[in-house]
Amino acid sequence: MTGRLPSPSNEKGLAALVHAVRSRLSRFGKDRSGMGAVEFAMIAPLLLMLYITAFEVTIGLSVAKRATRSAGAIADLTTQADTVDLATLNTMKDVASAIFAPYSTDEMTLQITGIDIDTAGKATVRWSWAGDGSAPYLKKAAFSLPANIATPSSFLVHARVSIPHQLLMFMPGLMPASMQNITITREYYFRQRINEAVSCPGCPSG
């Protein structure tokens, strides 16, 4: 049987080719140039999401803080007289706007309510007023109070501030509307400063 033996030059060429391929693969495996760009491309979306989330939390906390301050200031101012009228109550919208600046209060909801507490600790509405001029509660309607402030034979002023807040969010198309639009509500109770109660003769339910 006869056969054709490989040429020594062919064997050397094949060995050189294999060596070259191995050498290139080895250099490719050890090459770290461009790794920073690849890693940044992988973590950039996550970093952007964290940044936007932190920004949203900061804005939300700022709005919530202003809502708390507004409710407290309004209840405090209302209890500094024994009688309030509609003109006085309307100025409370300006008080809230000043506290919320630079945020808009165009969609803010404001409610102020005078609450009587009888000898048994039952709370009922004496008068109520809303920023749009309506009465949020009916006169003598029952009013639910926290147990620790329902002191018998007393009077309270309740101030409630609600304001919608829209979140920008990352990729808002993937987020449900309930997570993009929230309402921040804060409320305060204050006792009257003068006499036994604060009256509001001109209030819708007064």
Summarize pLDDT for 48-80 with one digit per residue, the tens.
877 877 888 888 899 999 999 999 999 999 999
Q: How many CB atoms lie within 10 A of CB 202?
A: 15
- In the sheet with 123-130, reading across from the earlier edge strand, the strands are 123-130, 109-117, 154-166, 181-191
Task: Rounding to the nearest 10 degrees, give the CA dihedral for residues 120, 121, 122, 126.
Answer: 110
What is the pLDDT at residue 78? 95
* Per-residue pLDDT at 44: 81
Q: What is the pLDDT of residue 27?
A: 66
- Rounded-to-5 percentages of helix, strand, coil across the chain: 45, 20, 35
In the chain the first and final C-alpha atoms are separated, in Å, by 122
Whole-number pLDDT of residue 163 = 95
Q: For residue 105, what are its two tokens?
A: 């209060």
Q: How far apart are CA 86 and CA 173, in angstroms?
A: 44
The residues, any chain, with a CB within 8 Å of residue 62's CB and separated by 6 or more, are 103
Q: What per-residue confidence (pLDDT) applies to 139?
A: 92
pLDDT recorded at residue 19: 67
Low-confidence residues in the chain, pLDDT < 50: none
